[in-house]
Amino acid sequence: MKLVKSLLLGSAAGLVAVAGASAADLGVKKPTAVEYVKTCPTYGAGFFVVPGTTSCLKIIGRVRMDARVDAPVTRNGHKTVARVRGYVGFDHRTATEYGLLRTYVRAYIQHQSGNTSATGASSVPSGVNLEYAFIQFGGLTVGRVAPAFEHGWSQWYLTSGGNMAGGYHSDASYVNSIGYTANFGGGFSATIALDDATDRHNYNAQAGWAASPRAGHAMPDLVGSLAYDQSWGSIKLSGALTQQRYNFALGAPFAGKSTQYGYAVEGGVKINLPFLTKGSNFWMSASYAKGAVNYAGYSVWGGTTVGGVTYNASDVNFATGALNTAFSVIGALQVYATPTVAVSVGAAYGSYNPAGANNTINGLTVLGQVQWMPVAGFLIGTEVAYRSLTASTGVIAAGTKKNDVVGRIRFQRDF
């Protein structure tokens, strides 16, 4: 009996030993701790720590739908126009011993109504557009950015610049630039930048004028601004210097001129109105330009159409070789009727004067806008504008006054 018991115990011990050896031979590893994505509240909502680094990243998305009631020049143009954009972007930030290192990029894919030709065919423009792509390192900013010349207070949906009869602010929403911003404390800051001049120069042809005299530019635009920001609001002053170079092959009046320099100045103020409601504000700005009319709100891309009349603005008078001038003023009041409903009214006036041609063109625009934000990141808005053009003579028939009413509705979701 003892012998049988000893044999059984020995066999069991052997099985346990074999089982232990087999488990060891399998090379089973201990489970590792899961590294969860951590939020990065230092830079605001939506940022998270990139695993394995000390950097923070935010993924940006937006879908926007605009439907516009327009006033085309001919029956070939559409009275109703629709445009859809899908945005994607990234905001990457790293704290360094030299200050913040930030990389930002945002682009969109667009599809919108095209123009109908006399044959009935329709072109439907689509494409990809790079809005922002810049690097910030301390006060240095390089890449594609919002121009330092702009104040950025306007929130109108309808086309800015000359396409709204002038007076809205510069028509260049984004430029390729190298700039530096110095913060002096107390809300004071100054920026100096070198901007690519390509997005600024206006050489739109005028009726009865010679071909464009434009030659390639040899220097970027020099832009500077001073800003003062406080709890009550902001003040901003800006200036720009641009170069105009001409093609000698065109002959007079440019044969004796190789280069001229244009300039622009702008001043603006924004005042917060918390005694009305939270978020309410009033702002206005004025600009003047000579040989740089885009800075005063006159479009680089084609002409301005109001009431079936189209005119083109140019930096240079092709007939005389003189630099053209323009000025504009705009103001707007925005009041939050409720925390989710904002109502705005505004007006703009612009004047474009081709030097020596006695054909000044004046534009007036009056707008109204309502925005509803039912939930965070979602906006539904509508806007109506009355526009009027008056010309003394020349580009538009003498004494001509044209006007129209245009409108737009927007749906926008940021995520």
User: Residue 203's pLDDT is what?
Assistant: 62
10 domain residue, yes or no:
no
- 182-186, 203-207, 318-322: range with lowest mean pLDDT: 203-207
pLDDT band per the 50, 70, 90 thresholds, residue 23: very low
72 domain residue, yes or no:
yes
- 160-169, 200-209, 231-240, 295-304: range with lowest mean pLDDT: 160-169
User: What b/e readout covers 170-197, taking b as 16+ CB neighbours within 10 angstroms?
Assistant: bbbebbbbbbebeeeeeeebbbebbbeb
Instruction: Measure Cα distances from 326 to 5, 60, 180, 249, 297 in Å.
Output: 112, 38, 28, 28, 9
Q: Where are the extended beta strands (E) located within 78-200?
A: 80-96, 99-112, 126-137, 140-145, 175-185, 188-195
CA 305/CA 39 separation, integer angstroms: 49
pLDDT band per the 50, 70, 90 thresholds, residue 33: low
Q: Range of 54's domain?
A: 38-138
CA 101/CA 82 separation, integer angstroms: 39
- Average pLDDT over every residue of 298-310: 55
125 domain residue, yes or no:
yes
User: Residue 227's pLDDT is what?
Assistant: 97
pLDDT, one tens digit per residue, over 50-88 is 998 999 999 999 999 999 887 666 666 677 888 899 999
pLDDT band per the 50, 70, 90 thresholds, residue 301: very low
- Average pLDDT over every residue of 124-136: 87
pLDDT band per the 50, 70, 90 thresholds, residue 17: very low
Number of domains in the chain: 1
CA proximity to 323, closest of 261, 264, 238? 261
pLDDT band per the 50, 70, 90 thresholds, residue 18: very low
User: Residue 160's pLDDT is what?
Assistant: 39
pLDDT band per the 50, 70, 90 thresholds, residue 351: confident
Element (H, E) at 7: helix 2-25
209 domain residue, yes or no:
no
52 domain residue, yes or no:
yes
CA 180/CA 125 separation, integer angstroms: 36
284 domain residue, yes or no:
no
User: Residue 155's pLDDT is what?
Assistant: 67
Predicted confidence (pLDDT) at residue 12 exceeds the cutoff of 50: no
Is the CB of residue 383 less than 8 Å from the CB of residue 369?
Answer: yes
Q: To the nearest whole percent, how much of the chain has pLDDT over 90?
A: 43
pLDDT band per the 50, 70, 90 thresholds, residue 365: confident
pLDDT, one tens digit per residue, over 256-298 is 567 889 999 999 999 999 999 999 999 999 999 999 988 888 7
Predicted confidence (pLDDT) at residue 136 exceeds the cutoff of 60: yes
Predicted confidence (pLDDT) at residue 201 exceeds the cutoff of 50: yes
User: Residue 314's pLDDT is what?
Assistant: 78
How many helices (H) does the chain have, and how many strands (E)? 1, 19
When comparing pLDDT for 112 and 84, which is higher? Answer: 84
Entry field: residues in the chain: 415
User: Residue 163's pLDDT is what?
Assistant: 40
- Average pLDDT over every residue of 195-204: 78
Which residue is associated with the tokens 């052997």? 14
- 44-48, 275-279, 388-392: range with lowest mean pLDDT: 388-392
Tell me the pTM: 0.80
Is the CB of residue 104 less than 8 Å from the CB of residue 90?
Answer: yes
71 domain residue, yes or no:
yes
pLDDT band per the 50, 70, 90 thresholds, residue 213: low
User: Residue 7's pLDDT is what?
Assistant: 40
pLDDT band per the 50, 70, 90 thresholds, residue 218: confident
CA 240/CA 197 separation, integer angstroms: 11
Predicted confidence (pLDDT) at residue 399 exceeds the cutoff of 90: no
User: Residue 387's pLDDT is what?
Assistant: 83
User: Residue 13's pLDDT is what?
Assistant: 45
Mean pLDDT over each residue of the chain, to the nearest integer: 79
Q: Under DSSP, is residue 287 helix (H, G, I), strand (E, B) or coil?
A: strand
85 domain residue, yes or no:
yes
User: Residue 246's pLDDT is what?
Assistant: 75
